Structure 1
């Protein structure tokens, strides 16, 4: 049996672990695949860094030349970003190689084109590692639930933001303080924008929605709101409701089955909800389907070794397909459902207002909610030196109705400001 050759693009935290596992577990991988698998080249940006366990002769700074080699069977891409990753992957397909990728940003932006290129080449495109690290999620959605109808995917898909919000909840720390600790522990990048502004989670939500609903969904279709505006007061309000704040990715099919929505934003969820107990940098995702019911996937959502585990799982599957002369599942977008904007999403809301502390203000505020068709569930008011804090929790309403309500509230003389707006989920 011939040896299958693998090109590795990127040798950072994840790439280093991929190379290590391929080397130390070579015999096991060969037994599981049915043929030996060999690391034939490693493309890096800087060749002069020490890379223990990787022979110098395998290291190259010419990634384009590596993927053009006609003896490469599989390309593993863990460099991230849009370019040069996209060009390198397309070149790999042109050469007949299959691709294993962890690149959520690229897949969320241009996944359909990559799938089309893979299909044209008779090659595989696998990307379990692009969402939720080591947690098996893509394959269950794409294969195990292929005969079922998925209606909702809800979860925590970014470990950095979950660590920050968990720290704010458990210690009373403010956002800046919690972010500083996340950075010191290595959970947050030096530039945390992709995580804290929700870009990372939005890319993952697009991938999950596309697979779950058999519809093309891109990152641009996902409503995105980060957690930089979440305050200690929001966390305290959640505690008063026996709830906790989490940054959630929510992908839903409409009741009539014709539309889907995908959104990422902070939300309050009851402490009795299983997602409320997902601590630290862990991820967890609920999948709700008609036949299987509610499934929960939980585990480490990032890190070198966990992500490498998902990459190697894909490598085994792709190599088996190579030996069998077949390919695995490609893109499934036959449903072509309409991707709806956020305006029509229905949920509950927690609205915190700074108002004048005088008679009639509460009635005035309640009238505005009623005029826009937003029903109030509970109200909590606390006075302080001529002003008051007014917290309103609504019944379910559309996002458009809530937005119109808030605009009208801001125009009231007795409303000093809208301190925060947060969605309430899981009830």
Structure 2
């Protein structure tokens, strides 16, 4: 049972999946382990992650481990219909299509929850929130789940603080082999891939405003600098603002940065980061986009109300004319730009993130009778296993501590 746009697109989808498979050596090794060990035999896995080729391969790896897969997207504009068709052609259950309405998106995520999953793999917390709010009777079936992104972890921590989180959730985003690479290098490259392919404009010599200087913001700023831009960082955290200064970037309030910015990228996980006050300060032709999970960082609804005219300026770019005559342009409706306007993170980066996902899901099953906390951090041994496998595939060797060195480092006496 599936609900996708067009199953006849399967050949294109399978080519994409095979391409990333060739470039995801970690997941290939995990797939071989899973085929042998069958950690998910007899279990249902509900997955909501941006549905493109790398996610599809993760789904196939979990299925190779015995999982009965129920798959949906985590953003209406990030699903690739040919990839969804490729998964369905291989016998997996998919409920997603590109350009879903709010009603369709809710129906699709509901379909994967209604099966009564044993494991949940989430990106932004939609599945976890849905099962708690609309299908609480299915919660006893859930062994636990894994959360992929910062925004989802914020929601999980808030739920747990209020005593509302009813099963263990592993904070995959907080694993070192995830945030140090995926959030920084993956977001940094894929955001500019999306912007550049959509706008076909040069970045060198422009002023780029990056809102948020967490690991994702650091990556976006670093890559903008590498492309020749002058970078301005907007922050609410004084420590992160100091980091930005010492990394060589200007720091301003958004209302002031709005006066000089050519490109604006929000990466905060918050809402109302760029609103009317900033819009009215922006120069004609400013380009806005969002790299946070939800489409509430750039107040697109407010911009629509403020504008006196709108147009489709270019494929995936909407233009809005302000009362002062200036035009502002929004990429991908203010949704996650690297997926709404691109193919997401590079395969080699997602190889690490999805290896963490797969191994964390197996960890939940193996330790289901031992986990008492609802918020579970990825064990250090999983992080190190992924790192060691990656180094091996890179054909790199590193030094090891001698017994004397280990004793020295673990002793308070010199």
TM > 0.5? no
Q: Give the structure-2-normalised TM-score.
A: 0.37
Larger radius of gyration: 1
Larger strand proportion of the pair: 1
Q: Give the structure-1-normalised TM-score.
A: 0.36
